[in-house]
Structure 1
Amino acid sequence: MARSAYVEPTAMGLVLAALQPANRLVFEVMLATGLRVGDVLSLTTAQIKRQRFTVREQKTGKTRRVWIPAKLQLQILQQAGRLYAFEGRDDWRKHRTRQAVWKDCNRCARFFQRGGAVPKGTVSPHSARKVYAVGEYRRTGSLDDVRHKLNHDAAHTATTLLYALSDKLDPKELRELGRQR
């Protein structure tokens, strides 16, 4: 099974509507910035107050400038903790966990999968990064712009291509390609 897939806006909207409010905001930040879930969860309240700030990506160690739309910024600040924008459940000095977001996402996706509104095995927090990439590619028409926004290395154009065109790619075909390596 693929780690994540592109999710059509209607299906993503259903899952977003069913998420717990803080987790919905996490997804909205991912959709607005293309950040990974761990990077969003580690955002501090002070960063959100600035609206435009630099993030050091946990996976790659690279830095990146991001901007949070004003309406989203206000929603985040209304629920933000003393230190982290997405405070942990038991300790204000820790941020919410990736697992908590994934668990809520999985619960909501399964609910809509039973009725057929969301395809099985497609929605995860990382899906938001693919939705962001597809949106950027549609908006700009530039693979280089998408690569820059996702902070991918120039040497990994194929990875950026998989993200930017994930709405056109069949997850089953991608799995088969992965097995042929």
Structure 2
Amino acid sequence: MGRADWLDRSSMDYILAAMMPANRLVMECCIASGLRVSDVLALKTDALARGQRMTVREQKTGKTRRIYWPARLYARMLEQAGRVWVFEGRNDWRKHRTRSAVYKDLCRVARVFRVSGIIAKGVQVSTHTGRKMWAVDEYRRTGDLQSVGRALNHDGRHRETTMLYAMADAITAGKKGRKKSGKRGK
């Protein structure tokens, strides 16, 4: 599997509509916050119950980040939250849902929409697609690459990484164009 690509909102809406409800909500949280799927899955019910604003410690970097959950999403998260974890494991409430469960569901659905043509053949959809969608939206909203990098907790010395996220829509569009032009030449 290649790197995750950005996906436009209308295409993602098709995917979300076809996913299992809990996995869909995980992806919606990634898109709304820019958090990695592992950080969304590690959300605890007691922390969520304290309010729409919360501080999250990223598992990959150890850095903290303030998150504000939109009201409707927050209400849905609370409604389905488990005893310990917001996203309980399927067989054991003491463990959270796994990344692979969300990933497999997402890939299963994306495959269907790739066959139907809603998703271009070369576009790679994964759980990280949600983070890229958030970064593109944030860059469009602010026009400030540095603020996007800070929000994603990217190291300021690696501006190129933030650019890959903030401009993922243009990169994905270029990728689609190359795939199409390659087919015509054969």
TM over 0.5: yes
Q: For residue 135 of structure 1, report the CA deviation from its aligned partner.
A: 0.2
Normalization by structure 2: what TM-score? 0.89
Q: For residue 63 of structure 1, report the CA deviation from its aligned partner.
A: 1.0
> Is 1:70 paired with 2:71?
yes
Q: For residue 171 of structure 1, report the CA deviation from its aligned partner.
A: 4.1
- Cα distance in structure 2, aligned partners of 1:124 and 1:106: 7
- Count of residues in Structure 1 that have an aligned counterpart in Structure 2: 173
What corresponds to 2:18 in structure 1? 18
**Deviation readout 1:58-111 (Å, 9 max, x if unpaired):** 111111111111111110111110000000001101000000000000010001
- Cα distance in structure 1, aligned partners of 2:7 and 2:71: 25
> Is 1:37 paired with 2:51?
no
Given that residues 31 and 132 in structure 1 are in contact (C-alpha distance below 8 angstroms), is that contact kept between their aligned partners in structure 2?
Answer: yes
Given that residues 30 and 128 in structure 1 are in contact (C-alpha distance below 8 angstroms), is that contact kept between their aligned partners in structure 2?
Answer: yes
Letter in 2 for 1:102: Y
Query: 1:129 is matched with which residue: 128, 131, 143?
Result: 131
- Cα distance in structure 1, aligned partners of 2:96 and 2:127: 16
- Cα distance in structure 2, aligned partners of 1:22 and 1:48: 16
What corresponds to 1:93 in structure 2? 94
What corresponds to 2:85 in structure 1? 84
Letter in 2 for 1:83: V
Given that residues 31 and 131 in structure 1 are in contact (C-alpha distance below 8 angstroms), is that contact kept between their aligned partners in structure 2?
Answer: yes
**Deviation readout 1:135-162 (Å, 9 max, x if unpaired):** 0000000001101111111111100001
Partner SS for 2:140: helix
Given that residues 120 and 176 in structure 2 are in contact (C-alpha distance below 8 angstroms), is that contact kept between their aligned partners in structure 1?
Answer: no
Which runs of 5 or more structure 1 residues have no equivalent in the other structure? 174-181
Given that residues 54 and 64 in structure 1 are in contact (C-alpha distance below 8 angstroms), is that contact kept between their aligned partners in structure 2?
Answer: yes
Given that residues 43 and 86 in structure 1 are in contact (C-alpha distance below 8 angstroms), is that contact kept between their aligned partners in structure 2?
Answer: yes
- Cα distance in structure 2, aligned partners of 1:17 and 1:123: 15
- Cα distance in structure 2, aligned partners of 1:90 and 1:54: 28
Which runs of 5 or more structure 2 residues have no equivalent in the other structure? 178-186
- Cα distance in structure 2, aligned partners of 1:57 and 1:89: 23
CA RMSD of aligned residues (A): 1.4
Partner SS for 1:66: strand
Letter in 1 for 2:76: Q
What corresponds to 2:104 in structure 1? 103
Q: Percent identical across equivalent pairs? A: 54
Structure 1, 99-108 or 164-173: larger mean CA deviation = 164-173
What corresponds to 2:52 in structure 1? 51
What corresponds to 1:143 in structure 2? 145
Partner SS for 1:168: helix
Query: 2:155 is matched with which residue: 128, 149, 153?
Result: 153
